[in-house]
Structure 1
Amino acid sequence: MIDPQELANRYVEVWNERNAELRRRQIAALWVANGTHYVGTREARGYEELEQRIIGSHEKNVALAGNRFRAVRDACALRDVVTFHWEMLAGHDDTVLAVGLEFLMLDTDGRIVTDYQFVPGQAQPSSHG
């Protein structure tokens, strides 16, 4: 059984990681090879697309804006699912600039198969056409 908070912390670390090679290794350790990440209307599938998605967020929010992400200490697991909230903080203090919810579906080894990211206020695809 995995520790859901430890997984949440590792997940958030990859979005803060500045070293490209270390970030690649973290992605491979967290996700299965054909893992998916969904946020709003975007989809990333497989290591290359996951890496590009994370790089885009990192460059915008961490490298350029000086912010950082942290996992809220509310991670919980139920069977093959882990959920937790995260916060994006201003780099100079703990002012919360954004929040989100992760819903992670895991394989039997505890690696992410599907990652649903919910960010309040962000456009979500409609299921009603």
Structure 2
Amino acid sequence: MTDHQHLAERYVDVWNTTDARRRRDLVERLFAPDATYTDPLGAVRGWDGIDEFIAGAQRQFAGMSFRLGGPVDGHHDTARFTWLLGADGTEEPVVIGFDVIVTEGSDRIGRVYGFLDKVPA
């Protein structure tokens, strides 16, 4: 049985890991080799695509970090959750998003569908 809360926490950790080698290791542990990530800003496949997409977001929002915006809701192989992106130590997020993850097995992500609810002008 999938622990959706733990999976979402691991997912946020990947987005917050700025050391390239460590981030890549976490990507390979969390995502299936042919996993897909799709949001309004892009669509990528596989470890290389996901890792490069995350690195790009980190460059764009340097000095900011992701955190879960509330409880994770999930059933079967699917979970949904809100995330917040903002400067460390501040309450007001710059970006708010909503992701749906579909697992492969109990501990790997096969697909991510991302939505952006609040973005900078």
The answer to whether TM tops 0.5 is: yes
More strand by percentage: 2
1:6 corresponds in structure 2 to: 6
What's the CA shift for 1:103? 0.4
2:76 corresponds in structure 1 to: 79
Q: Which has the larger radius of gyration?
A: 1
1:29 corresponds in structure 2 to: 29
What's the CA shift for 1:2? 2.5
The answer for unaligned runs of 5 or more in structure 1 is 123-129
- 2:91 is the alignment partner of 1:94: yes
- Mapped contact 1:83–1:102 kept (Cα < 8 A): yes
1:108 corresponds in structure 2 to: 105
Structure 1: how far apart are the matches of 2:77 and 2:85? 26
Percent sequence identity is 28
2:116 corresponds in structure 1 to: 119
TM (norm. structure 1) is 0.85
What's the CA shift for 1:73? 3.0
- Mapped contact 2:97–2:118 kept (Cα < 8 A): no
Q: After the TM superposition, which segments of 4 or more aligned residues of structure 1 sit over 2 Å from their partners?
A: none
- 2:39 is the alignment partner of 1:39: yes
What's the CA shift for 1:121? 5.8
What's the CA shift for 1:46? 0.5
Aligned positions, number: 119
- Mapped contact 1:5–1:73 kept (Cα < 8 A): no
1:127 corresponds in structure 2 to: none
TM (norm. structure 2) is 0.90
RMSD: 1.5
Q: Which is worse superposed, 14-23 or 84-93?
A: 84-93
